[in-house]
Amino acid sequence: MVFEGKIWKFGDDVDTDIIIPARFLNVSEASELAKNCFADLRPGFATSVRPGDIMVAGNNFGCGSSREHAPLAIKAAGISLIIACSFARIFYRNAFNIGLPLLESPEASEGLSEGDVVRVDLAAGSIVRISDSTRFSANPVPEFMAGIVRAGGLVPYTIERLGGKTTG
């Protein structure tokens, strides 16, 4: 799986309340959540991000409450992939569960800037800045996790593995 997009850069300890403030949690429709993604931290983010863009962050991205709305809002806003130094464990699992891939790469987090365009090979853990061919590495996503992303999330992945059967 290869992704290419423009970088949106965030810092350390971006919590789920910053990603989607609690006052917007009265809806569960992804497109509605996306409209308020980063409403307080970066007003206008939701209208500026383009499908396929890539987010880069520092340490402990997605900390705070375990709300599934946070990765859903990011994905629905158009972000195709998040690269960070590290992720909060529950955010990591919630993101993959909805088919949003994540890569941990301290060197990419440090070396990439807002607006850079990168090409990312998820399976190889390769990140390349297009403007100057600078390469960064990350641990590749295990094949079964990539399968979840390809299927669009854990539920579609499970249904595929059951041969399309949803009940016993």
For the full predicted model, state whether its pTM sits above 0.85: yes
pLDDT at 67: 83
Helix (H) or strand (E) holding 145: helix 143-151
pLDDT in tens, 86-138: 999 999 999 999 999 999 999 999 999 999 999 999 989 999 999 999 999 99
Nearest to 61 by CA among 92, 36, 31, 24: 92
Whether the per-residue pLDDT at 165 is higher than 80: the answer is no
pLDDT at 161: 86
Domain assignments of the chain as residue spans, ordered by start: 2-141
Query: 74-83, 123-132, 153-162: which has the minimum mean pLDDT?
Result: 153-162
Residue 87 DSSP one-character state: B
Whether the per-residue pLDDT at 66 is higher than 90: the answer is no
- Is 45:150 a contact under the CB 8 Å cutoff? no
pLDDT in tens, 6-48: 999 999 999 999 999 999 988 888 999 999 999 999 999 999 9
CATH 3.30.2320.50 assigned to 2-141: no
Task: State both tokens at 53.
Answer: 């863009």
